[in-house]
């Protein structure tokens, strides 16, 4: 059974229109949210990639150093490898705290304002 009625518009569902999304994207509040995210995520990402590459390069080109026994059968390579996992979890935890304290309140304010039609 076909109908000629157009599908409901975004406004009929209480959703913001495309121009409202563009206006929010260009707002100072959204730019601040994006800046807060980028100023945290980008430097930390670069630092982690450098840390990972140092580990890989040491593993490839400094085998004698990486094989240095620290205690028992535990060597430098194992300790640095485990530190990779530890740093990954610490970064995830740190980002979670940053997002909860800095990003989520700003994003929620923007979302609330858009949903209320203000």
- Residue 93 tokens read as 């935890």
Q: How high is the pLDDT of residue 114?
A: 86
| 3-state secondary structure (DSSP) of residue 7 | coil
Closest CA to 56 of 46, 43, 42, 66: 66
pTM, rounded to two decimals: 0.75
Domain boundaries, the chain: 28-116
Query: What's the pLDDT band for 19 if we cut at 50, 70, 90?
Result: confident
Q: What is the mean pLDDT of the chain?
A: 89
pLDDT score for 2? 59
Instruction: Tell me what pLDDT residue 11 has.
Output: 55
pLDDT digits (tens, 9 = 90+) for 107-117: 999 998 888 87
More confident residue, 65 or 2: 65
Number of residues in the chain = 118
Task: Report the range of poorest mean pLDDT among 21-25, 33-37, 65-69, 70-74.
Answer: 21-25
Higher pLDDT, 12 or 67: 67
Residue 28 structure tokens: 């100072």
């Amino acid at each position: 059974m076909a109908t000629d009625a157009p599908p409901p518009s975004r406004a009929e569902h209480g959703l913001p229109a495309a121009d409202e999304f563009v206006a929010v994207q260009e707002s100072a509040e959204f730019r601040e949210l994006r800046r807060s995210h980028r100023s945290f995520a980008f430097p930390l990402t670069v630092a982690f990639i450098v840390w990972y590459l140092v580990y890989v390069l040491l593993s490839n080109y400094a085998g004698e150093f990486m094989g240095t026994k620290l205690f028992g059968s535990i060597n430098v390579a194992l300790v640095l490898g485990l530190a990779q996992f530890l740093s990954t979890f610490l970064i995830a935890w740190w980002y979670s705290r940053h997002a909860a304290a800095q990003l989520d309140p700003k994003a929620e304010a923007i979302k609330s304002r858009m949903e209320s039609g203000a």
